[in-house]
Amino acid sequence: MRVLVTGGAGFIGSHVVDVLLAAGIQVRVLDALLPDVHRRARGPEAPGSDTSGTSDADLASLAGLAGLDPRAQLQVGDVRDAETVRAALDGVDAVCHQAAMVGMGVDLADLPAYVAHNDLGTAVLLAEMARAGLHRLVLASSMVVYGEGAYRCPAHGPVRPRPRQEPDLAAGRFDPRCPTCGQPVEPRPVTEDAPMDPRSVYAATKLAQENLAAAWAAASGGTVIALRYHNVYGPRMPRDTPYAGVASLFRSALERGGRPAVFEDGGQLRDFVHVTDVARANLLALRWPEAPARRLSAFNIGSGRPHSVGEMARALCTAFGAQPPRITGEFRAGDVRHVFASSARAGQALGYTATVGFGPGIAEFAHAPLRA
Catalytic residue set: 202
Q: Which stretch of DSSP H or E encloses residue 299?
A: strand 295-301
Answer yes or no: are the C-beta atoms of 329 and 265 closer than 8 Å: yes
Question: Please, is 55 exposed, middle or buried when counting C-beta atoms within 10 Å of its C-beta (0-12, 13-18, 19+)?
Answer: exposed
At 26, which amino acid appears?
Q
3-state secondary structure of 2: strand
Question: Please, is 273 exposed, middle or buried when counting C-beta atoms within 10 Å of its C-beta (0-12, 13-18, 19+)?
Answer: buried
Answer yes or no: are the C-beta atoms of 227 and 192 closer than 8 Å: no
Answer yes or no: are the C-beta atoms of 307 and 358 closer than 8 Å: yes
Q: How far apart are CA 285 and CA 295, in angstroms?
A: 14
